[in-house]
Structure 1
């Protein structure tokens, strides 16, 4: 092996330098990552097909960006969260907007806005961190990298906060809906609500949300310790709490796709319109 002391760390390869020069203390598993890539690629193709067929454009856009960016990096889950937020408003309209503490559009707009803030913080933090890579041994570069990490950490922590608040408000609506009298529920979607697919959609959405939450908490703890910390250099925890959590989240949102589970009523349940005026669009084919 070449003497590492004469090699620029940025030019290192496994053949020329020790792992001491690497940013992580392990060689990533090619089989594991290839498996994750295969799953994400398959889910992405199916999402495009289902989104085009059922015209769930907003949901599909979030899922497309989320899955693609999860393949390329780490910011993808924020986009998947945005797709989940869009679903809640439609669920509320379908069950009964009068039951909800807030208007359906309020949930969607507030949480998507929170998602945008989270994404911007992660992008800015990532850009600052990447800009300092060329001067790996420079003290100022290390400070710049740390600043970028702190900004990314802020974005991820904000995402965890948003998801927590989202689950609390969603749980509160679910409790109100379970106690609400039948006359407060949207009669135009009564037949849809009785179907297995629609009933299965809600626990599927919960599972996807919880998986993204677990992954986001993991990333917050990881970044809080820094890229040189024990969690960032523990491949087993990464292989369990990063890729698989998002595979499960996007997988259940593909198996229980809203276009399928709403039986073509995605537009009719649009949170930007009053569900009472759209009830006549409940498909007779259910």
Structure 2
């Protein structure tokens, strides 16, 4: 990248980077413990995503200490990691809906066949991840304005793919919720009498339904973050958003930390307590 290319249009905050590096690090460790406790292998991508968030802010810490003579390595690393980490968080979120549907025996209430549900959305997530990775790689090695613009355009395409699949996912979740509300299964009604952590009522809300609400919340947070990133890259390196660090923390760091916290609060892995055999069907391996 040419020396005339401006890496930061502000002085990055060391204190903010430290705070979020620690916060995401704690979240990643907590999710590792919860995934181990509940045997939730489907949360591995989520754990990797939270870890990448942590490493991304560690890289920003390094740059912040170099003001104003920033090195390209940490800058490119934090740009890529913070751009791509939410796609890994999303991959696990897509898998949770299928577990909720199976838990309440609601396969026929889902607008997409259960066997295809996870495959469709994870495939879209992987596609988005690869496109963004390609754009980020071009951007991190750009030595001319044309290469910078090319990298930004490719990233925008990847973000649009992410927004599209997340929009469809939210619609599918709402349709399933609507169908099972109007035509409940015996399991969705009776599950609140169970003693398991996933089934019991919380403030009068069945555990599986609370998990679905958390799914709505986390999906919406990632959607808002993705839209922010789309606008940021459309504006370009000289745009208002990239010129003010506060927006990165408000519309990316804080939102992704809330996603991590939300799924720790009501970890979907507890679903496995009453879904014996689910992993054998989905992944062809025994979990118990």
Q: Specify the TM-score bucket, using the shorter chain as the normaliser.
A: 0.7 to 0.9
Deviation at residue 186 of structure 1 after TM alignment:
8.8
1:200 and 2:210 matched = yes
Partner of 2:231: 221
Deviation at residue 185 of structure 1 after TM alignment:
5.5
TM (normalized to structure 1)?
0.79
Gap regions ≥5 residues in structure 2: 57-80, 283-288
Q: Cα deviations across residues 63-114 of structure 1 (Å, max 9, x unaligned)?
A: 1221122232221000111100000111111122122222222111100000
Partner of 2:38: 54
SS at match of 1:227: coil
1:234 and 2:244 matched = yes
1:67 and 2:50 matched = yes
Partner of 1:91: 100
1:129 and 2:124 matched = no
Give aligned pairs, total: 248
C-alpha distance in 2 between matches for 1:272 and 1:45: 28
The list of structure 1 runs, each at least 4 consecutive aligned residues, that deviate by more than 6 angstroms after superposition, is 186-190
Alpha-carbon contact 2:139-2:151 (below 8 Å) kept: yes
Alpha-carbon contact 2:100-2:208 (below 8 Å) kept: no
C-alpha distance in 1 between matches for 2:107 and 2:263: 23
Partner of 1:31: 15
SS at match of 2:273: coil
Deviation at residue 27 of structure 1 after TM alignment:
0.6
Alpha-carbon contact 1:90-1:271 (below 8 Å) kept: no
Q: Cα deviations across residues 182-228 of structure 1 (Å, max 9, x unaligned)?
A: 45859789736454343422222211111111111000000011122
C-alpha distance in 2 between matches for 1:22 and 1:165: 37
Partner of 2:285: none
Map residues 73-222 of structure 1 onto 2, 5 A cutoff. Answer: 73-74=81-82, 75-95=84-104, 96-132=106-142, 135=143, 141-183=144-186, 191=194, 193-196=199-202, 197-222=207-232
1:254 and 2:264 matched = yes
C-alpha distance in 2 between matches for 1:256 and 1:181: 22
C-alpha distance in 2 between matches for 1:155 and 1:87: 23
Structure with higher Rg: it is 1
Alpha-carbon contact 1:100-1:173 (below 8 Å) kept: yes
Higher mean displacement: 34-43 or 264-273: 264-273
